[in-house]
């Protein structure tokens, strides 16, 4: 199998107030195979979210290398990083990160708008994605009119808008009840079975049953 994500000797240190430094990652190395579903587990402060954010280009390492596909992520400038995020990764967050003033349709269409896709085309694509996650009857609802599970399904549809090969999900079930969480994980597993590489950060051991591989982190290192 081909590795789509390659991380080598990754370090991340945050400078805090009064010359205090916090080490978030302490020499992490790993490879994730294309088409796999990986869960990264560990307590708060273990570095799992920092690792995901660096892999997805939302943060930069202090040192080390990160390759996703043909991109050397740590070396990209801001414009290149924006292109990388649009082409390679879709993000799903614990807090959904939907725009409250937009409808479900508009939220899902937003990444396509940022990619310069024509309005009619992006709205059609957004509608198709909302149908895929079972929310065709909620397309004109705003986030405050929807349940947590419905909001997360919209977030999944939005993550798929640009058809990225990699999905990064940071605690995707953290704000959901058990049934909704299971529904979201089943959806992610189906996406994985259709060929997408999925990396999930979670503290919930129940989520590991969906994974091909479990990575355990503690104090900025893989155990």
CA 34-213-58 angle, 5° bins: 60
* Inside any domain, residue 68: no
* Inside any domain, residue 203: yes
**Residue 31: what pLDDT?**
96
CA 185 to CA 214: how far, in whole Å? Answer: 15
CA 95 to CA 84: how far, in whole Å? Answer: 23
* Inside any domain, residue 13: no
* Residues in the chain where the model's pLDDT stays below 70: none
* Inside any domain, residue 16: no
User: In terms of residue numbers, what domain contains 208?
Assistant: 36-46+76-217
- Interval 162-174: pLDDT, tens: 999 999 999 998 8
**Residue 148: what pLDDT?**
92
Count of domains for the chain: 1
* Inside any domain, residue 29: no
**Residue 138: what pLDDT?**
95
- Interval 108-127: pLDDT, tens: 999 999 888 999 999 999 99
- Interval 76-108: pLDDT, tens: 999 999 999 989 999 998 888 999 999 999 999
* Inside any domain, residue 10: no
Give residues with Cβ within 8 angstroms of 109, minimum separation 6. 122, 123, 125, 126, 161
**Residue 94: what pLDDT?**
86
What the block records as the tokens of 194 is 């259709």
25-45 burial code (b ≥16 CB/10 A, e <16): beebebebeebbbbbbbbeee
* Inside any domain, residue 201: yes
* Inside any domain, residue 198: yes
Q: What is the CATH number of the domain that holds 161?
A: 3.40.50.300
CA 1 to CA 201: how far, in whole Å? Answer: 23
CA 173 to CA 185: how far, in whole Å? Answer: 8
DSSP assignment letter at 20: -
């Amino acid at each position: 199998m081909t590795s789509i994500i390659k991380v080598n000797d990754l370090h991340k240190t945050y400078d805090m107030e009064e010359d205090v430094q916090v080490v978030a990652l302490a020499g992490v190395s790993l490879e994730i195979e294309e088409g796999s579903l990986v869960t990264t587990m560990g307590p708060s402060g273990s570095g799992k979210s920092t690792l995901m954010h660096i892999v997805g280009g939302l943060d930069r390492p202090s040192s080390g290398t990160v390759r996703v596909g043909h991109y050397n992520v740590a070396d990209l400038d801001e414009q290149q990083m924006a292109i990388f995020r649009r082409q390679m990764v879709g993000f799903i967050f614990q807090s959904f990160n939907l725009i409250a003033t937009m409808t479900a349709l508009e939220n899902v269409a937003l990444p396509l708008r940022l990619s310069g896709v024509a309005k009619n085309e992006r709205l059609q694509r957004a509608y198709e994605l909302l149908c895929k996650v079972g929310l065709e009857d909620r397309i004109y609802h705003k986030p405050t009119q929807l349940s947590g599970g419905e909001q997360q399904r919209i977030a999944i549809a939005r993550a798929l808008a640009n058809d990225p090969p990699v999905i990064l999900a940071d605690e995707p079930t953290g704000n959901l009840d058990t049934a909704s969480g299971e529904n979201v994980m089943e959806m992610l597993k189906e996406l994985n079975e259709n060929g997408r590489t999925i990396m999930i950060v979670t503290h919930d051991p129940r989520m590991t049953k969906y994974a091909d591989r479990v990575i355990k982190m503690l104090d900025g290192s893989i155990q």
